[in-house]
Structure 1
Amino acid sequence: MYLRIVQRRLAPIQNNLIRTYKYQSKVFGYNAELKTHGNTEEIANSLRDYNQARQANPHAALLIDAYRKHGHRLATIDPLGININTSIPELDANIFTVDFNVTNEDDVRSLFGGLSRQRSIPKTKDDLIRQLEEIYCQSISLECEHIESDIERLWVARRFEQLRTSETVSDDIQQRITEQMRRCETFDQFLQAKFPTLKRYSGEGAEGMMAFFDLAFKHSAQLNIDNVVVCMPHRGRNNLLVCLLNYPAATMFRKIKGKREFPNDVKSTGDVLSHLYTTTDLTYDGKNVHVSLIPNPSHLEVN
């Protein structure tokens, strides 16, 4: 009798454990039901067109897949020119047989996102390889094979191809990005010169984050989003505070020198340099967005 009571009481717990720790998709833990965002009919139609294009051009599909998986390995992203691959077996042109015989250009465009309306349809294998190398083997490339969802991985690859071939960045935007990165770099150089022993978690090597945050805040303002809350790790945090979020540099330097952050009659102490926070209003094209970089009192937050 006692055993039956215990079993009945343990049953909900056992069921919960099974539910919580089931193993799916290489993730040890409970997986919530996947929700599809956007127009599901549009996604289904796009996927159907893509599959039809693969069936009509199977050899071209294999070649495109190869560059999507391995093209980044030939990208010229080593500024010192030390580790540069000139060829890899997976992209050896001799192992691919491509015969287009295109009768419907839309089929090929569905297969390869790099074909904008302004670009000509490749007629030979060499034409396709040249276009793929322009996209994946230059100073910017893409590696997205870690994405488990086939639909998401395909969307990322096609979107990257479209951006690389059909969209350009205006001179004004390029100048703004350059100014932001230079400001970030100069800030690090100044701290290194004035406070050489400071553990500052610099943003060196990640100056591009300034352009990312600036664009994210700009789009938020354009979408009439009132508040943006940012949670980030230590590295580059001070750069973002001073160079984009209007945190007073003098206040930060005062803290670095060990001076009090509060009036003398206030019995309190501040946090360490890498846990500073701020809140500010940014304006883009006449629209405001309130941005808050939250405090970092522990290392337990999800970044």
Structure 2
Amino acid sequence: MHNSVMKAWLESSHLAGANATYVEDLYELYLSDPEQVSEEWKRVFDGLPVQPDVVEQPHSRVRDYFRRLAQETKHSSAQVSDPEVDAKQVKVLQLINAYRFRGHQAANLDPLGLWKRPTVDELEPAFHSLTEDDLDETFNVGSFAIGQESMTLRDLHKALQKTYCGSIGAEYMHMTNTAQKRWIQQRLESVVGQPSFDSEHKHTFLAELTAAEGLERYLGAKFPGAKRFSLEGGDALIPMTKELIRHAGSQGMREVVIGMAHRGRLNMLVNVLGKKPQDLFDEFAGKHDETWGTGDVKYHQGFSADFATPGGDVHLALAFNHLTLKSLTRLLLVQFVLVKTLRR
């Protein structure tokens, strides 16, 4: 009898109270990686009773949480959060930032679905160690300008996909000016990348887009083989530019100066600045004045006109594309005379 009691005591002596801290440290090491403990201790921990659907958590994290909670409540009323929740919150903010940086790479830019692209792993919650169980948890959305401070991860992920992976890809995080980046973020994220236009605006955009495409089609059919630096593929430049000018005029802008290269320049001249199409066609047909020169000179010419906006007329000036040496010398001479005159 005495021997059996001593045997039982010896077999359980390692669980004595004096060894509690040591054993608990071993157990937490076992929870993180069972292979980190000796085979003898692994058999002991493997033999512990297991409750179904319950995941054992390290006690050190819980102790640290309550220790910090006690310290904070002594000196202030600030709320202390669970470190595990804090870690997931950081991951959620990293997910938001990933969409801002790389969302455009997964944007739906192929309406026919022919473009086979590799998936962007950073845009998936799993990449940031966020699990299916986290999808219905509520997190703070930080600077994501959606109009609310917190939302479930599931709804946040859908909002991010809608904002940055729709039919418009926004790439702007390379900009160094923080104010400019936040300006773009606020306007993209506040409407979840889905701007709303009334019927009148939509008809205006359609008419302007049709005019841009129609001019390119006509030039291609009427003057086949002629060098024309077509805008085809970038037709949206015309309604976009006109809307920018209309908005500028409503904000009090009175003059807009445009500088651009050859591609799309003729379309800009006709459909934005209002150059007569007949004059453009005459240039293609070679009916212009001999002093204009030859070749692609029609792409170099400047133009100016008034553009009607809801806030009043805006004067548009399309700068000359090329400057000859003679023109440059004349321009410098005029600037010199103006400077001398202002100094008097």
TM-score by shorter chain over 0.5? yes
Q: CA deviation at 1:215?
A: 1.7
Determine if contact 1:76/1:84 at 8 Å carries over to the other structure: no
Please state whether the residue corresponding to 2:308 is helix, strand or coil.
Answer: strand
Give the match for residue 31 of structure 1: none
Aligned residue identity for 1:138: G
Give the match for residue 321 of structure 2: 296
Give the match for residue 126 of structure 2: 94
Determine if contact 1:116/1:166 at 8 Å carries over to the other structure: no
Q: CA deviation at 1:88?
A: 2.5
Could you tell me how far apart the structure 1 residues matched to 2:127 and 2:292 are? 67
Q: 1:76 and 2:76 equivalent? A: no
Could you tell me how far apart the structure 2 residues matched to 1:283 and 1:77 are? 33
Q: 1:228 and 2:256 equivalent? A: yes
Please state whether the residue corresponding to 1:213 is helix, strand or coil.
Answer: helix
Please state whether the residue corresponding to 2:292 is helix, strand or coil.
Answer: coil
Please state whether the residue corresponding to 2:307 is helix, strand or coil.
Answer: strand
Could you tell me how far apart the structure 2 residues matched to 1:269 and 1:170 are? 45
Could you tell me how far apart the structure 2 residues matched to 1:174 and 1:299 are? 42
Please state whether the residue corresponding to 2:190 is helix, strand or coil.
Answer: helix
Give the match for residue 46 of structure 1: none
Determine if contact 2:108/2:165 at 8 Å carries over to the other structure: yes
Please state whether the residue corresponding to 1:276 is helix, strand or coil.
Answer: coil
Q: 1:144 and 2:172 equivalent? A: yes
Give the match for residue 267 of structure 2: 239
**Aligned Cα root-mean-square deviation (Å):** 2.9
Rate the CA distance shift 1:134–1:296 in 2: closer, same or farther, 3 A.
same
Q: Aligned match of 2:151 in 106, 122, 134? A: 122
1:218-297 equivalent positions in 2, closer than 5 A: 218-261=246-289, 268-270=291-293, 272-285=297-310, 287-297=312-322
Query: What residue ranges of structure 2 are gaps of 5+ in the alignment?
Result: 1-85, 329-344
TM-score (norm 2): 0.61
Give the match for residue 27 of structure 2: none
1:5-24 equivalent positions in 2, closer than 5 A: none
Could you tell me how far apart the structure 2 residues matched to 1:139 and 1:81 are? 12
Rate the CA distance shift 1:228–1:149 in 2: closer, same or farther, 3 A.
closer
Could you tell me how far apart the structure 2 residues matched to 1:223 and 1:279 are? 21
Could you tell me how far apart the structure 1 residues matched to 2:144 and 2:324 are? 43
Q: Aligned match of 1:133 in 155, 161, 168? A: 161
Q: CA deviation at 1:61?
A: 0.4
Determine if contact 2:205/2:239 at 8 Å carries over to the other structure: yes
Identity %: 28
Give the match for residue 217 of structure 2: 189
Determine if contact 2:160/2:192 at 8 Å carries over to the other structure: no
**How many residues matched?**
234
Q: CA deviation at 1:152?
A: 3.9
Determine if contact 2:273/2:304 at 8 Å carries over to the other structure: yes
Rate the CA distance shift 1:156–1:279 in 2: closer, same or farther, 3 A.
same
Give the match for residue 99 of structure 2: 67
Aligned residue identity for 2:121: P
The one-character-per-residue Cα deviations of 1:246-296 (angstroms, maximum 9, x if unpaired) are: 10111111111111337xxxxx33461211322111112261111111222
Q: CA deviation at 1:226?
A: 2.3
Q: CA deviation at 1:165?
A: 5.2
Give the match for residue 230 of structure 2: 202
Aligned residue identity for 1:116: G
Could you tell me how far apart the structure 2 residues matched to 1:129 and 1:280 are? 47
Could you tell me how far apart the structure 2 residues matched to 1:165 and 1:60 are? 20
